[in-house]
Amino acid sequence: MGDGILNFLGGNGGDDTIIINGTVGGNIVGDGIASLLGGSGGNDIIVINGTVLGDVLADGVASIFGNGGDDEVAVAEGATILGIIDGGKGTDKLTLFGVYQDELDLLDPQGGSVTSGSKTYTWINFEFLIGKIREVVSELVESDNGRRIIYPRDLFAGRCSREWHQNLLRERPGGVCSLCRIASMNTGDSLTYQAAIANSVGTL
């Protein structure tokens, strides 16, 4: 519990960081009872790398009459949470590292569930859902018979090369490099790309 019973009469919760690497048999609570009468919960960060047999409550009872904090809950791929992940009040972000962003874009941050591998995560009261990018980046190379063949490009090279830019601009004047777009993304942004079709110029 981040703050426990901080103040019944208007106090504010602190900005706490809770990281779980092992197993917790109960609940994880960001603010506990931060204030019953007018204070605000802190802006807490909760990271679950292990197992939580109860709920993950970003605010708990952050405030009955005040505001909850702007909290971030991050769940590692393969982590186990048997209960509900509750963002509470405030503007909250839930990051699920085992789920692709395009899947989360179809779900409601205010309440829902998703399965990743053998794990199912259920949440309520979030404003943003953040996942990993499902990205297909291809480059066009001329084959021996003159047709354009599409080869996958390694996204994890970290940045694009001058040759990649030249190929892109030659094939699609005015085009935009997808690797550069990814590098300029902000937290919470998402980009969707369509895989190119063999022997044709795909859409970047």
pLDDT digits (tens, 9 = 90+) for 78-103: 999 999 999 988 899 999 999 988 88
143 and 99 share a domain?
Answer: no
Q: How sure is the predictor about 76, in pLDDT bands with cuts at 50, 70 and 90? A: very high
79 and 162 share a domain?
Answer: no
Angle at 79 between CA 21 and CA 75, to 5 degrees: 85
What's the total number of domains in the chain?
Answer: 2
Residues 129-152: pLDDT tens digits? Answer: 999 876 554 444 544 455 444 444
- The domain boundary, picked from 105, 132, 159, lies at 132
187 and 108 share a domain?
Answer: no
Give the pLDDT confidence score for residue 159 in this predicted structure: 44
Give the pLDDT confidence score for residue 93 in this predicted structure: 96
Note the helical H segments in the chain: 101-104, 162-171, 178-183
186 and 118 share a domain?
Answer: no
What is the average pLDDT across 160-177? 59
Does residue 72 or residue 138 have the better pLDDT? 72
93 and 152 share a domain?
Answer: no
Q: How sure is the predictor about 202, in pLDDT bands with cuts at 50, 70 and 90? A: very low
Helices (H) and strands (E) in the chain, counts: 3, 17
127 and 28 share a domain?
Answer: yes
142 and 125 share a domain?
Answer: no
141 and 200 share a domain?
Answer: yes
How many other C-beta atoms are found inside a 10 Å radius of the C-beta of residue 1?
16
How many other C-beta atoms are found inside a 10 Å radius of the C-beta of residue 199?
10
Is 1 domain-assigned? no
Q: How sure is the predictor about 3, in pLDDT bands with cuts at 50, 70 and 90? A: confident
Is 144 domain-assigned? yes
Residues 6+ apart with CB under 8 A from 154: none
Is 7 domain-assigned? no
Is 127 domain-assigned? yes
- The domain boundary, picked from 97, 132, 167, lies at 132
Among 11-15, 19-23, 110-114, name the one with the lowest average pLDDT.
11-15
Give the pLDDT confidence score for residue 40 in this predicted structure: 78
Helix (H/G/I), strand (E/B), else coil: 20:
strand
Residue 108 pLDDT > 90: yes
Is 172 domain-assigned? yes
Is 67 domain-assigned? yes
Helix (H/G/I), strand (E/B), else coil: 156:
helix
- Kindly state the tokens that stand for 183: 């590098």
Domain that holds residue 169: 134-204
Average pLDDT, the chain: 76
Identity of the highest mean pLDDT range in 31-40, 127-136, 138-147, 185-194: 127-136
CA distance 129 to 42: 20
